[in-house]
Amino acid sequence: MRPGPDRKARREAGVSALIEYVMITTIMVILFVVILLQMNSTFMQGPAQTLQYNAFTDIGNGVSTRIVDVYAIAPPVGNITSSFPLPQDVAGQDYFVEVYTGSTAADQYVLVSQGSITSNISLAGISATRNVTGNTTAGGMNQISYNSGGF
C-alpha cells in the first residue's frame, strides 16, 4: 500500500481554505465600507466647498470693483446709481454679500458668505475717503447708489 495523505489532512486543508476565503472576504468588505463612507466627503463636499470659495472670491472682487468704479465717476454734487447682476446661486446654495467697515474707517471689506465658507475682499481705493455699507442676497439685479450729500 502506498503512503499518501490521510483523510484528516485532506479535511484540514479544506477547512483552512474555507477560513482563508472567509477572512479575506471579510477584510475586503470592511475596506469597501470604509471607502464608501469616505467617498462623499472626499469626492463631493471638498470640491464643492473649493468651488464655492473661488466663486465667492470672484463675486467679492466684482462687487468691490463696481463700488470703486461708481466712486471714481461720482459727481462732486449729485448722485449716481449703478445696477449689476449677481449669480442666482453658487453650487446650488444661496449666499449673502455684505459691505462693512472694519476696526477703523480705512478698513472696509466685501464679505461673501454661506454657512462656514466665507471670502473677505478688501475694498481698495476709497477706504479712507468714503464710508461704504450695505448688504444683499444672491441673485437678481442689485444697485450701488452714491449721493454726495450722504444718505
Look-up of cell digits 446654495? 93
Which pLDDT does position 24 carry in this prediction?
Answer: 95
Instruction: Determine the pLDDT at residue 140.
Output: 80
Mean pLDDT by 10 residues, the chain (151 residues): 60 76 95 88 83 93 89 85 89 89 82 92 74 81 82 56
Domain positions in the chain are 46-147
Q: What pTM did the predictor assign?
A: 0.72
Q: What is the pLDDT of residue 27?
A: 97
Q: Give the model's pLDDT for residue 25.
A: 96
Task: Give how far Cα 92 sits from Cα of 48, 49, 81, 89, 114, Å.
Answer: 10, 11, 30, 6, 11
Strands 96-101 and 108-114: what pairing?
A: antiparallel
**Distant-in-sequence, close-in-space partners of 119: CB < 8 Å, separation ≥ 6:** 53, 56, 57, 59, 60, 111, 112, 113
